Amino acid sequence: MELKNLKNHVRTLATLSETDAPVISCYLFLERGHIKEPNLFEERIRDIKSILTGQARHDFEKAMDFIRKYLAEELKSEAKGTAIFARARKEPFYLPLQFRVPLPNWIVADRAPNIYHLMELKDTYHRYVVMLSTKESARILEINLGSVTKELWENRPELRRRVGREWTKEHYQNHRKERGRKFIKEKIKTLEHLMSAGGHTHLILAGHPTNIGLIRRELPRHLADKLIDMIPASSKTPISNIVESSIANFIVAERKKTQMVEKKFFWQIQTGGLAVAGTGPTYLALKRGQVDTLVLAKSYSLGQAWACATCDLIDPERDKPATCPVCGSIDLKNFDIREEMVRLAEQHGCSTEVVNKSEDLMQLGGVGCLLRYRLLDDYAYESNRRRTSL
């Protein structure tokens, strides 16, 4: 699957209208085209069924029929993860996805799809280009969510047959060097065209150290700035091994980018700039469409919260009251706060950065965001919330 398709699927899920029927969000870790831990899968299904009654239980079982059929007949041997979304009754919905990168075992039934793990996948396994160059050939690979989705390659022209027949050995060596330089320049032009047309921002060179060293020196500045690593490999190295190595290196580069976003976020918080921290202010900024980038700790998970649909007050710490303590509205709803924030970010086209480990971010509540703009009443939110909790 290509990243652009995943983005479209996440958008569809984030904007799916709610009904009374539950949506099953089923994420599974796969091994050789099968569920790696089927007992845990069945146990989780039993747990969900045990708390559902009446029509909701019937809808759940109906949706599970679609999922079980897909798991039995459609899984590919090379897939390492699958995400399946299903809903039954009046407005049925069904979306099965497979990936060559792993996903956690996570199954939930709720009024809306659970998209956090897809968002994290999208954030972690972006698109990038690998240029594999050996003495025999050059190949340019586009890696999309762990899969090779485009491949361009060209064999090096054979010159040895001309030695002794048309050229002296010295003539051959000089011509070979010149053809080698020309060959590298041609491949760099092809690489440049592919990366420009595809909007790629990361490049990895792989191959014989001498070859990739020559290519590195010939790269124009704008391509050299996109180079994140170089991987030793031979013409006999399986492409799958090169892809696995490149994924690991790409994740390291992505984490460095996330650290830069995190650093910018803390600087904006410290200087009173375009950023807010904490569950309440972040949720409100997302609702208002102010957010440029959602910054989320990987360990952030407050579970259920409630919010007022009238004034947007949110409280993840207390049980839902009969009426809103600020505006008196009875239009209050429960939801998973992390899922709701990710869903709002997708709906408004915000980017999301998941921070792997950050004690500083956790001290600020585990979540925050960089803003596109501020409103005059932004600073009043926390003082208003403190008054209602007294």
What lies within 8 Å, CB to CB, of 16 at 6+ separation is: 23, 93, 112, 113
* pLDDT of 53: 93
Tell me, what's the pLDDT at 167?
Answer: 44
Beta bridge partners of 105: none
* Whether the model pTM is above 0.85: no
Measured distance CA(159)–CA(153) in Å, rounded:
19
pLDDT for residue 366: 93
3-class state of residue 286 by DSSP: helix
Q: Residue 151 — φ and ψ, nearest 5°?
A: -145, 125
| CATH code linked to domain 127-253 | 3.30.420.60
Element (H, E) at 35: strand 34-35
Instruction: Establish whether domains 3-124 and 127-253 are of one fold.
Output: no
* Size of the chain in residues: 390
User: In this predicted structure, what is the pLDDT of residue 380?
Assistant: 56
pLDDT at residue 261, rounded to an integer: 93
Question: If phi over 0 gives left and psi between -120 and 50 gives alpha, with beta otherwise, what is residue 321?
Answer: beta
Measured distance between the N- and C-terminal CA atoms of the chain, rounded to whole angstroms: 51
User: Pick from 35, 90, 113: which is nearest to 336 by CA?
Assistant: 113
pLDDT digits over 279-289, tens only? 889 988 998 99
pLDDT in tens, the chain (390 residues): 677 888 899 999 999 999 999 999 999 999 988 999 999 999 999 999 999 999 999 999 999 999 999 999 999 998 999 999 999 988 999 999 999 888 999 999 998 999 999 998 887 777 788 888 876 677 888 888 777 777 755 554 443 444 444 445 454 444 455 565 777 788 888 888 878 877 788 899 998 888 888 889 889 999 999 898 898 888 788 888 888 888 888 888 888 888 999 999 999 999 999 999 998 899 889 989 999 999 999 988 877 788 888 887 777 767 788 888 888 888 888 888 899 999 999 999 999 999 988 899 999 999 999 999 987 666 555 445 444 443
User: How is the chain split into domains, by residue range?
Assistant: 3-124, 127-253, 272-389
Helices (H), the chain: 3-14, 38-51, 54-73, 116-124, 169-198, 209-218, 221-224, 239-270, 279-288, 337-347, 359-363, 380-389
Q: What is the pLDDT of residues 92-150, one digit of tens each?
A: 999 999 998 889 999 999 989 999 999 988 877 777 888 888 766 778 888 887 777 77
Return the CATH class of domain 3-124: alpha beta
Supply 163's token pair. 């030695």
What are the pLDDT digits (tens) for 69-96?
999 999 999 899 999 999 998 899 999 9
Q: CATH number for the 272-389 domain, one of 3.30.1330.30, 2.70.98.60, 2.60.120.370, 3.30.2010.10? A: 3.30.1330.30
